[in-house]
């Protein structure tokens, strides 16, 4: 079975969503570095000792986001190859984007990503996409046998 255009479009949209998410990483790093720089300027000595901790939290969040973006990009490519697990992971990514958009309603990039994720979600769950992914599922002969 040839790949439907809905799967191709959903894959490309999710791929660009992963790349667009790098804006979020730079925003998190810039905000925490700025906060770590500004806190000691007008604060007490106690505030200046907690500033490096704030920067580390931002770095940890950014590393987590980078890992999620890498997983999303790989899943978007695997969706085009007909892997059903990729659609499940990308659906989870769309759900996390919804949580992010609702967490901070002023974050414009989250709303842009949410709109793109919703379009890709609808495209990935059309009848033709589901039929394509069902045909591409593994051979039952290779399925594990449970006693």
Q: Where are the domains of the chain?
A: 5-135
For the stretch 114-130, pLDDT in tens is 899 999 999 999 999 99
Confidence of residue 107 (pLDDT cuts 50, 70, 90): confident
Tokens representing residue 43 in the block:
């604060």
Q: Quick one: which of 99, 124, 97 has its CA closest to 113?
A: 97
Confidence of residue 141 (pLDDT cuts 50, 70, 90): low
Q: Which residues contact 132 (CB under 8 A, 6 or more apart)?
A: 1, 3, 4, 7, 82
Tell me how many degrees the CA angle 12-116-125 measures, rounded to the nearest 5.
Answer: 70
Pick the range with the lowest mean pLDDT from 11-20, 87-96, 131-140: 131-140
DSSP letters, 20-80, are: HTHHHHHHHHHHHHHHHHHHHHHS-HHHHHHHHHHHHHHHHHHHHHHHHHHHHHHHHHHHH
Higher pLDDT among residues 127 and 41, named by residue: 127
Tokens representing residue 140 in the block:
């039952």
C-beta neighbour count of 121 within 10 angstroms: 19
For the stretch 24-38, pLDDT in tens is 666 666 666 555 555
Residue 5: per-residue pLDDT:
94
**Which phi and psi angles does 78 have, rounded to 5°?**
-70, -25
């Amino acid at each position: 079975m040839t790949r439907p255009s809905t799967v191709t479009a959903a894959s490309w949209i999710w791929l660009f969503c992963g790349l667009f998410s790098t804006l979020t990483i730079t925003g998190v790093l810039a905000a925490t570095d700025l906060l770590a720089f500004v806190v000691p300027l007008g604060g007490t000595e106690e505030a200046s000792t907690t500033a490096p901790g704030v920067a580390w939290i931002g770095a940890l969040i950014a590393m987590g986001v980078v890992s999620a973006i890498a997983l999303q990009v790989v899943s978007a490519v695997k969706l085009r190859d007909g892997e059903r697990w990729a659609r499940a992971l990308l659906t989870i990514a769309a759900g996390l984007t919804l949580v992010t958009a609702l967490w901070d309603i002023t974050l414009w990039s989250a709303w842009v990503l949410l709109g793109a994720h919703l379009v890709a979600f609808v495209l990935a769950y059309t009848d033709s996409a589901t039929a394509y992914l069902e045909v591409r599922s593994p051979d039952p002969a290779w399925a594990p046998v449970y006693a």
